[in-house]
Chain A
Amino acid sequence: MTTRIVELRRGVLKKNDQLAAELRARFHAAGILVLNLVSSPGAGKTAFLERTLRELRHLGARVAALVGDLETDNDARRLASTGAPVRQINTHGICHLDAEMVGRHLEGWQPAHLDYLFIENVGNLVCPSSYDLGEDIRVALLSVTEGEDKPLKYPTMFNSADVAVITKIDLAEACEFDRAAAWKNIREIRPDVTIVETSAKKGAGFAEWLQFLENERTNRSIAMAQAAAGK
């Protein structure tokens, strides 16, 4: 018997990262823009997504959603009312979605010719930050009722966000929401990140949000065309 050191140098999340990379390649090949929505519970992800799906469909975009929750299919039913194809992922106690769950729930269900796939993560600002789902854009949502210092309390999540959405902006005045402080805190954690203020109830900020989505799709098409031309 002998004691020795075995060098490993292996990422703990290597399996998830590999699966996520495979998903991303599939999504890109199919020309789908994929967004991962993360926030604390009650920040308004589902209401925000519901309005986003409705408005995008109204504009003729082809959209679908995967929605993660610990239990119940309440959110999926709510989102399905928009007419978009929706699937529920029940994690049964697991506090985050991972790439395997996303891949498994896409089996036998690849809504053809999608422009956008939205993945609504489990309401949690900690754990989902570690798991790549193969998304192009990570959207961190923050409601005005939560306090302006949320980004400072959950820096890991906000630092990994590609866009920050402030929700329930119609309640800002009642909550004495300090807009300048919120923007400053978000940008302290994630410099230059795009910030959009929205109200899913009143529709405020949605024109800007939809424009952001369209720009992302356009940039993607240009990047893909350039990559193809480069070959």
Chain B
Amino acid sequence: MHELSIVEGIVTAVTESLANRPVSRVYTVRLQVGALSGVVEEALQFSYGIATRGTILEGSILDVDHIPVVIHCDICDGDFELPGVQSFRCPACDTPSLQIRRGRELEILSLEVEEDEVEEDNDHQNCRTAPGRAEEE
């Protein structure tokens, strides 16, 4: 079970991404998990509660989008979604395929956050971050 390491990766990625934003709370983390990512949602959710304690992600919801495997079939010249991960054959013509188009994802898509409205207001950002400059000009 390496989901704890994965959650630590999520915490690091989110913390870094939000470093320059006035975010006071994270409500939801939307994560894409491919069927071939090697990650199990149950273990992920279990680790999430533990590894996010004391971080900006504490109390947030991990919203997981499951991505099925999609292979490309040269014979049919198309991409096909597979029903599982027990066989890597084209569902239309039964030809085995090594070309995996989707299913390996382990990606943070987006965050739902609470931000300080005033500082996020672009019109006034300069005078907020550099007080006094407006007067000089």
Contacts and interface: CB of A to CB of B under 8 A. Distances in A.
B114 interface: yes
Interface in B16-68: 17-18, 21, 23-24, 27, 31, 36-39
17 contacts: A5-B110, A6-B112, A6-B113, A9-B108, A9-B110, A10-B13, A10-B108, A11-B106, A12-B9, A12-B107, A126-B1, A129-B38, A152-B86, A156-B36, A159-B100, A191-B97, A192-B96
A212 to B, nearest CB: 18
A155 B86 contact: yes
Contacts of B109: 7-9
Q: Which 8 A-B pairs have the closest CB atoms?
A: A191-B96, A127-B2, A155-B85, A130-B38, A129-B38, A156-B38, A12-B9, A6-B111
Interface stretch (A29-37, A112-120, A182-190, A200-208): A182-190
Interface in B87-137: 87-89, 96-98, 100, 106-117, 120
Interface string A119-148: 000000011011000000000000000000
Interface in A1-33: 1-16
A3 B27 contact: yes
Contacts of A16: 9
A15 B9 contact: yes
In the complex, which range does the number of interface residues on chain B fall in? 35 or more
A159 B36 contact: yes
Given A1-B115, A1-B117, A159-B36, A13 B9 contact: yes
A80 interface: no
Contacts of B115: 1-4
Interface residues of A, number: 36
A171 interface: no
B122 to A, nearest CB: 13
A12 to B, nearest CB: 4
A94 interface: yes
Contact of B10 (A3, A4, A12): A12
Given A94-B5, A130-B2, A12 B86 contact: no
Contacts of B10: 12
B110 A8 contact: yes
Contact of A6 (B17, B38, B100): B17
B37 A156 contact: yes
B37 A188 contact: no
Given A1-B115, A12-B13, 9 more contacts: A1-B114, A2-B120, A6-B111, A7-B110, A15-B9, A96-B5, A127-B5, A156-B85, A191-B88
A159 B27 CA distance: 35
B51 to A, nearest CB: 12
A84 interface: no
Contacts of B110: 5-9
B114 A2 contact: yes
Contacts of B97: 191
A129 B36 CA distance: 9
A155 B112 contact: no
* A96, A126, A159: most-surrounded residue (chain B CB, <10 A): A159
